[in-house]
Amino acid sequence: MKKILNRRQFLQTATQAGAGAMAFRYAALAGMLGSATVPNLLAAETDKPVKLGGKPVRKAAFPVWPVYDESEEQALLEVLHSKKWFRGEGQYVNHFEDAYIQKTGAKHCVATANGTSAVLAALGVLDVGPGDEVIVPPYTFVATINAVLMHHALPVFVDTDIDTFQIDATKMEAAISDRTVAMLPVHLGGGVSNLDTILDISKRRNLPVVEDACQAHLAEWRGKKVGNYGVMGCFSFQASKNLTAGEGGAVLTNDDEIAEKLYAFHNNCRARKTASFNFTYRGTRGANLRLCEFQAGILLAQMARLDQQYETREANATYLNQVLSQIPGIKVAKNYEGCTRNAHHLYMFRFDKEQFGGLPRAKFLSAMAAEGVPCSGGYSPLNTETFIKDALKSKAYQRIYPADVLANWAERTHCPVNDQLCNEAVWFTQSMLLGTRADMDDIVAAITKIRAYGADLAKA
Ligand SMILES: Cc1ncc(COP(=O)(O)O)c(C=O)c1O
């Protein structure tokens, strides 16, 4: 059983415990008692990292994702036995869209096959196409960029705000050219990009905003759910996401006309049926990007847990923020003041190797995994990816864009801050945040232990 110890009692306990497991348990609490040097002292009392012959902080797994029970089983069986497996016949996709509207406060929702197709459809509805430029962040999942490339538009990268990991909205206006047709900010990791600044640019420059909220289910900006601020907001329900059916997606909009265009785009240009077998075509192009009834059934069941799971993630993330902020060399990702709810899809911080005895990040990540605390280094710089350069060299791009536009693209989309972030970032997954307070203490303990032996680990 845990109890809060004062600093003296804590250090005594740590010494008596010897093997250190107990010391690690209390590391976080001691950190909160107010001394930034506590993690150093603690670690000196404890045994070595696994990489140096010690015992792991933990052997137990963190919570497994996805979470499900009989409600998902029941939904799947109901759809199965209904024999109505696609949205044209069944009611589950419609019910899910209604439920997501309820949860987000948006006027319309069109469910899609996945998040990539949500962004693809949103850009398609805006008629983004060859010759156009779309402003994007480099610190995102590659799908954001692929959705732009699929329309043969040019992604124009704007550097990252290193404190928040979000697109640096203060640099977006400078990236606008006479080819720019849309801005596609991403609400990364469950946080929210600086919507005040982005919407101000949008208004002044008359440029639509599509929010890529694929990682930010139920996140809020100034008390309103994300996805409601841009002309459209896109979501993913892929396996890793806080709301999941393995695959799936949705687009929110508050615009009646756009909602109908979206429906047609995701339904091979076929508008909503007005009477049986009475299709009309609309739009300029489209595809089958529909969610299926099985996925909608699972999503409806998953949604029942979303608020409770959010509360757990929020409590654990708040605790980690408080404790990890006291460890020199760890800089947790910040929220903008307008972000009133972070959905915590990822727990992200920056790792400063100089404060860890010169330990390279790759060695830190592998030492953490050895302690039983899995983490990753996150994204690599998308703006320098070869596949995008290859796209720009392709026949289509060469035909569409003037040579100087393609020649200047790399220089124009240089993102030095993002390069730095990509070298320093460390992520924990959202499912780890569904653990107990003791699980969070293990995360702290692993970091503390590795930091104390950083210089030795660097040499190992
Ligand atoms: C920011 C972002 N945009 C788009 C996507 C694409 O979503 P999906 O994988 O469902 O196609 C993802 C998925 O990880 C994402 O994180």
CATH of the domain at 327: 3.90.1150.10
Question: 42-61 burial string, b = 16+ CB within 10 Å, else e?
Answer: bbebbbbbbbbebbbbbeee
37 pLDDT more than 70: no
Does residue 86 sit in the same domain as residue 41? Answer: no
Q: DSSP labels for 166-196?
A: SB-GGGTGGG--TTEEEE--B-GGG----HH
Write the CA distances from 152 to 132, 140, 252, 264, 428, integer angstroms. 8, 19, 24, 21, 34
Query: CA dihedral in degrees (79, 289, 301, 144; nearest 10)?
Result: 160
> Would you say the CB of residue 169 lies under 6 angstroms from ligand 1?
no
Q: Which atom of ligand 1 is nearest to the CA of 240?
A: 14
> Nearest 5°: CA angle at 307, between 306 and 310?
85
Over range 268-279, report the average pLDDT. Answer: 78
**Which of 133-147, 234-248, 271-285, 347-361 is predicted least confidently?**
271-285
Asked if residue 201 lies in contact with residue 207, where contact means CB atoms within 8 angstroms, the answer is yes
Range of the domain at 222: 70-302
Taking the mean position of all CA atoms in its chain, how far away is CA 296? 22
Cβ–ligand 1 distance for 216 under 6 Å, the answer no
The reported pLDDT for the residue numbered 32 is: 42
Q: How many CB atoms lie within 10 A of CB 399?
A: 9
Residue 169 within a domain: yes
Q: What angle do CA 150, 154, 160 make, to 5 degrees?
A: 110
Decide whether any atom of ligand 1 lies within 6 Å of the 214 Cβ: yes
State which of 302, 317, 348 marks the end of a domain: 302
Cβ-based burial of 206 (10 A; exposed 0-12, middle 13-18, buried ≥19): exposed
* One domain for residues 218 and 249: yes
Ligand 1 contact, 242 CB (< 6 A)? no
| Cα–Cα distance measured from residue 20 to residue 445, given in angstroms and rounded to the nearest whole number | 10
Task: Return d(Cα 243, Cα 431) in angstroms, integer.
Answer: 11
* Residue-level pLDDT at 336: 98
Q: What is the DSSP letter of 397?
A: H
Give the number of other CB atoms < 10 A from CB of residue 19: 11
Could you read off the pLDDT of 215-267 as tens digits, one per residue?
999 999 999 999 999 999 999 999 999 999 999 999 999 999 999 999 999 99
The model's confidence at residue 277, banded by pLDDT at 50, 70 and 90, is: low
* In-domain check, residue 406: no
**Which bin fits 328, alpha (ψ -120 to 50), beta or left (φ > 0)?**
beta
Q: Provide mean pLDDT across the span 441-450.
A: 98
Contact assessment for residue 97 and residue 111, using Cβ atoms and an 8 Å cutoff = yes
The pLDDT, as a whole number, for residue 255 is 98
CATH number at residue 235: 3.40.640.10
Q: Is 1 domain-assigned? A: no
Give the pLDDT score at 13.
Answer: 35
Asked if residues 208 and 126 have their Cβ atoms less than 8 Å apart, the reply is yes
Is there an atom of ligand 1 within 6 Å of 141 CB? yes
**Which residues share a beta bridge with 288?**
267
Please say if the pLDDT value at position 410 is more than 80: yes
Query: Is the minimum distance from the CB of 114 to ligand 1 under 6 angstroms?
Result: yes
In this structure, are 178 and 29 located in the same domain? Answer: no
* Residue that the structure tokens 């409770």 belong to: 308
Q: How many CB atoms lie within 10 A of CB 16?
A: 10
Count of structural domains, the chain: 2
Measured CA to CA, the distance from residue 213 to residue 190 in angstroms comes to: 8
249 lines ligand 1 (CB under 6 A): yes
Place of tokens 């976080």: 28
Which of 256, 280, 302 marks a domain boundary?
302
Same domain, 183 and 101: yes
Q: Does the Cβ of 207 fall within 6 Å of ligand 1?
A: no
> Are 76 and 53 contained in the same domain?
no
Residues 159 and 59 in one domain: no
Instruction: Output the six-digit token pair for 390.
Output: 């290859």
Mean per-residue pLDDT of the chain: 91
Whether 449 is in a domain gets the answer yes
115 lines ligand 1 (CB under 6 A): yes
386 located within any domain: no
Q: Which atom of ligand 1 sits closest to the CA of residue 345?
A: 16
Q: 97 CA distance to ligand 1 centroid (A)?
A: 19
253 in the same domain as 183: yes
Q: How confident is the model at residue 276 (pLDDT cuts 50, 70, 90)?
A: low
The verdict on 146 and 213 lying in the same domain is: yes
- Ligand 1 pocket test target in 119, 123, 238, 345 with most atoms within 8 Å of CB: 238
Pairing verdict, β 330-332 and 346-351: antiparallel
Output the pLDDT for position 273: 77
The answer on 329 and 184 residing in a single domain is: no
How do beta strands 249-253 and 108-112 pair? antiparallel
What's the gap in Å between 136 CA and the centre of ligand 1?
Answer: 14
Residue 119 alpha carbon, nearest atom of ligand 1:
4
- What residue type is assigned to position 224 of the chain? K
Q: Quick one: 313 and 442 in the same domain? A: yes
pLDDT at 40: 44
Ligand 1 center to residue 216 CA distance, Å?
11
143 CB under 6 A from ligand 1? yes
Task: Find out whether the beta carbon of 215 lies less than 6 Å from any atom of ligand 1.
Answer: yes
Residue among 140, 214, 382 whose CB has most ligand 1 atoms within 8 A, to mutate: 214
Give the residue among 56, 26, 58 at the shortest CA–CA distance from 42: 26
Residue 388: inside a domain, yes or no?
A: no
Indicate whether residue 430 lines ligand 1 (CB < 6 A).
no
Within a domain: 297: yes
Ligand 1 centre from 328 Cα, in Å?
33
Task: Using the 3D structure, point to which of 277, 302, 327 is the last residue of a domain.
Answer: 302
238 lines ligand 1 (CB under 6 A): yes
Ligand 1 near 116 CB (within 6 A): yes
Indicate if the alpha-carbon torsion angle 57, 61, 65, 69 is positive or negative.
Answer: negative
| Shared domain check, 264 and 129 | yes
- Which residues are paired to 156 by β-bridges? 135
CA distance 117 to 122: 8
Residues 357 and 218 grouped into a single domain: no
Beta bridge partners of 249: 112, 236
Tokens describing residue 459: 């040499």
Identify the pLDDT of residue 44. 42
Higher pLDDT, 417 or 35: 417
